[in-house]
Amino acid sequence: MNTDSKTYQAYAKAHAKRSPMARDIVRAFWVGGLICVIGELLKLLYSSLTIPEDLIKILIPVTLIFIAGLLTGIGVFDNIAKYAGAGTLVPITGFANSMIATAMDTKSEGMIMGVGAKMFIVAGPVIVYGTVASLIYGVILWIAERV
Amino acid sequence: MKKIMTFANAPIITVGASVVGKKEHEGPLGSTFDIHDDTCEFGMSTWEGSETEMQRMALQTALAKAKLTADDIDCVFAGDLMNQCTGASYGMKSFASRYFGLYGACSTFAEGLILSSMAVSCGFSALSAVVTSSHFCSAERQFRFPIEYGCQRTPTSQWTVTGSGAVIIGSNGDGPRIVDALPGRITDKGITDVNNMGAAMAPAAIDTLNLYFTESNTSPRDYDLILTGDLGREGHSVLREFMRSDGYDIENNSNDCGMMIFSASAQDVHSGGSGCGCCATVFSSYILPRLVKKELNNILLIATGALMSPDRLKQGDSIPGIAHLVHIVS
Per residue in B57-85, pLDDT tens? 999 999 999 999 999 999 999 999 999 99
CA dihedral B234, B205, B134, B39 (to 10 degrees): 30
Q: What string of DSSP letters covers B46-69?
A: SHHHHHHHHHHHHHHHHHHHTT--
Average pLDDT in the B256-280 region? 95
**B272-316 pLDDT, tens digit each:** 999 999 999 999 999 999 999 999 999 999 999 999 999 999 999
Confidence of residue B113 (pLDDT cuts 50, 70, 90): very high
Residue A19 DSSP code: P
Measure CB to CB from residue B148 to each of A24, A78, A88 and give the nearest one: A78
Residues A60-86, mean pLDDT to the nearest whole number: 96
Q: What is the pLDDT of residue A28?
A: 97
The closest CB to that of A1, out of B190, B191, B242, belongs to: B242
Structural domain boundaries enclosing B250: 177-329
pLDDT of residue A128 exceeding 80: yes
d(CA B255, CA B251): 9
Q: In the predicted model, what is the mean pLDDT of residues B138-159?
A: 92
d(CA A115, CA A102): 8
Same domain, B199 and B109: no
What pLDDT is recorded for position A147?
Answer: 85
User: How does pLDDT run across B87-108, given as a tens digit for each residue?
Assistant: 999 999 999 899 999 999 999 9
The three-class DSSP label of residue B213 is: helix
Q: Look at residue A138 and tell me whether its pLDDT is greater than 80.
A: yes
Which pLDDT does position A62 carry in this prediction?
97
Secondary structure percentages of chain A, helix, strand, coil, to 5: 80, 0, 20
| pLDDT score, position B176 | 97
Find the mean pLDDT for residues B184-188: 97
Interacting residues of B315 by C-beta distance below 8 A, sequence separation 6+:
none
Q: How many residues does chain A have?
A: 147
Q: Give the contacts of B38 (CB within 8 A, at least 6 positions apart).
A: B21, B22, B25
Phi/psi at B131 (nearest 5 deg)? -135, 130
A89 touches chain B (CB under 8 A): yes
Same domain, B144 and B189: no
* Residue B240 CB partners (closer than 8 Å, separation 6+): B250, B251, B254
Count of domains observed in chain B: 2
Q: Which of B205, B304, B233 is nearest to A17 (CA)?
A: B233
Are residues A78 and B149, on separate chains, in Cβ contact within 8 Å?
yes
* CA dist., res. A26 & res. A32, Å (int): 10
Question: Minimal CA–CA distance to B207: which of B181, B180, B246?
Answer: B246
pLDDT, residue B1, reads 84
Alpha-carbon gap, residue A115 to B48, rounded angstroms:
17
Interface test with A, best of B152, B153, B156, B158 (most A CBs within 10 A): B152
Q: Taking the CB of residue A139, how many other CB atoms lie within 10 A of it?
A: 10
Instruction: Look at B148 and A100 and tell me if their CB atoms are within 8 Å.
Output: yes
Domain end, chosen from B149, B170, B191, is at B170
Q: CATH code at B230?
A: 3.40.47.40
What is the rounded distance in angstroms from the CA atom of residue A100 to the CA atom of residue A90? 16
pLDDT, residue B222, reads 97
Q: Using a CB-CB distance cutoff of 8 angstroms, which residues of chain A are in contact with residue B207?
A: 1
Q: CB pairs below 8 Å between A and B: how many?
A: 102
pLDDT exceeds cutoff 90 at B164:
yes
Task: Write b or e for each residue in B261-291: b if 16 or more Cβ atoms lie within 10 A of its Cβ, otherwise e.
Answer: bbbeeebebbbbbbbbbbbbbbbbbbbbebb
Which residues 6+ apart lie within 8 Å of B192 measured at CB? Answer: B313, B317, B318, B319
Residue of B nearest to A76 (CA): B148
Other CB atoms within 10 A of residue B186 CB:
11
A92 to chain B, any CB pair closer than 8 A? The answer is no
Domain ranges for chain A: 16-146
Do B279 and B313 lie in one domain? The reply is yes
Q: How confident is the model at residue A1 (pLDDT cuts 50, 70, 90)?
A: confident
- Mean per-residue pLDDT of chain B: 96
Q: What is the arithmetic mean of pLDDT over B197-210?
A: 97
DSSP class of residue B292? H
What is the reported pLDDT for B64?
97
Residues B282 and B191 in one domain: yes
What pLDDT is recorded for position B81? 96
The answer to whether B38 touches B199, Cβ cutoff 8 Å, is no
Instruction: Give residue B285's pLDDT.
Output: 96
Q: Is the domain of B156 the same as that of B12? A: yes
Nearest CB among B146, B191, B234 relative to A122 is that of: B146
pLDDT value for B205? 98
Encode A4-37: b = buried (16+ Cβ within 10 Å), e = exposed.
eeeebbebbeebbeeeeeeebeebbeebbeebee
Q: What is the pLDDT of residue A7?
A: 96
CA gyration radius, chain A: 21
Please check whether residue B171 is in contact with residue B9, taking contact to mean a CB–CB distance below 8 angstroms: yes
Tell me the per-residue pLDDT of A14-36, one tens digit each, with 9 for 90 and over.
999 999 999 999 999 999 999 99
Query: Is residue B233 over pLDDT 90?
Result: yes
State chain A's mean pLDDT as an integer: 95
The gap from C-alpha B67 to its chain's centroid, in whole angstroms, comes to: 24
Give A79 to chain B, closest Cα distance, Å.
Answer: 7
* Cβ pair A12:B196 closer than 8 A: yes
Beta bridge partners of A26: none
Out of B115, B149, B170, a domain closes at B170
Q: Please list every residue in chain A whose beta carbon sits closer than 8 Å to the beta carbon of residue B210.
A: 1
